[in-house]
Structure 1
Amino acid sequence: MNYREMIADDYEAAHQLWENTEGMGLSEADSRLEITRYLERNAGFSQICENEDGRIVGTALCGHDGRRGYMYHVAVSNDCRGMGIGRELVKRCLGNLHAAGIAKCHLMVIGTNEQGRGFWEGIGWQYRGGIMLYSQDIL
């Protein structure tokens, strides 16, 4: 497996993986333009994993606001799960955040995504009850 920084040219293959990942929530914010802008603002943080054939089998969008890190769209292809790819992507993202002086990272999991919740809890992430997420469309 080959791990490297995610770049804008990876978008189509990454989006296809996200579309085929059960429990993954996608929206207009996941358009090519929006993901490219995210990658540019957070250069070097997001990671992908390619198999021996060069197919993207894992992704992790990662960035920070100068205070806290955030991860989105951590996904591994169904045929490659259980191989430690997700753990390695997360490890690499957290290492990049640490190097940037970021002490804490957050992520969001859709409440009905049992597999996703199991992954995060299984690698030691803590569920934060009592926090309510509010959103508002601006455009």
Structure 2
Amino acid sequence: MSVAPAPLAIAAIADADIEAVVALWQRCGLTRPWNDPHADIALARRRDNSTVLIGRDGGAIVATVMVGHDGHRGWVYYVAVDPDSRKRGHGRVIMAAAEDWLRQAGIAKLQLLVRRENTQAGAFYQSLGFAESTSVMFQKWLDGRGPTP
């Protein structure tokens, strides 16, 4: 008889969690030189239309998601599961928490971006019921930088 893993304890990020969360994002390869993760966390925490949710297994932060909305569509970023804790359902749990957070805000649609080469992430989101959009994303840096990969 197999024992189901204990559910993650989900909570909004606290000041004491920030360095551990940034370290997890770096370990998962989610950070990019043009995005300061500390600034991204601060921005997400600044208003009531976004947050960073963390999932703890025991005392350890093993999953995260940054979730927010523009009043019409929800978005998630920095979906991370500690590499040593994968294949235990933590990704599904943290995404369900993000969906619940958006539902409570009255948001009916969730969107996310996946790098084309990240086929593992694409397969994960498809397993959760996401479908590839027919929309094309355009981007422009408002500080004058050129396009980023």
Same fold (TM over 0.5): yes
Partners of 2:82 and 2:138 in 1: CA distance: 28
TM-score (norm 1): 0.86
Mean CA deviation greater in 9-18 or 58-67: 9-18
TM-score (norm 2): 0.81
Match of 2:127 among 117, 122, 125: 122
| 1:45–1:96 CA contact under 8 A, matched in 2 | no
CA RMSD of aligned residues (A): 2.0
Q: 1:49 aligns to what? A: 55
1:63 is the counterpart of 2:52: no
Runs (5+) with no aligned partner, structure 2:
1-7, 145-149
Distance verdict in 2 for CA 1:8–1:71, change over 3 Å:
farther
Deviation at 1:118, TM superposition (A): 1.4
Following TM superposition, the consecutive aligned residue runs of length 4 or more in structure 1 with deviations greater than 6 angstroms are none
Q: Secondary structure at the match of 1:46?
A: strand
Deviation string, structure 1 residues 69-108 (Cα, Å, up to 9, x no partner): 1100101011111111111111111111111111111111
Match of 1:6 among 2, 13, 24: 13
Partners of 2:70 and 2:16 in 1: CA distance: 24
Query: What is the identity percentage for the equivalent residue pairs of Structure 1 and Structure 2?
Result: 30
1:89 is the counterpart of 2:94: yes
1:32 is the counterpart of 2:43: no
| 2:53–2:65 CA contact under 8 A, matched in 1 | yes
Q: When the two structures are aligned, how many residues end up with a matched partner?
A: 137
1:15 is the counterpart of 2:40: no
Runs (5+) with no aligned partner, structure 1:
none
Partners of 2:15 and 2:112 in 1: CA distance: 22
Q: Secondary structure at the match of 2:35?
A: helix
| 1:7–1:39 CA contact under 8 A, matched in 2 | no
Q: One-letter code of the match for 2:67?
A: C
Match of 2:82 among 77, 80, 97: 77
Partners of 1:59 and 1:2 in 2: CA distance: 11
| 1:46–1:93 CA contact under 8 A, matched in 2 | no
Mean CA deviation greater in 126-135 or 104-113: 126-135
Distance verdict in 2 for CA 1:44–1:6, change over 3 Å:
farther
Which one has the largest radius of gyration? 2
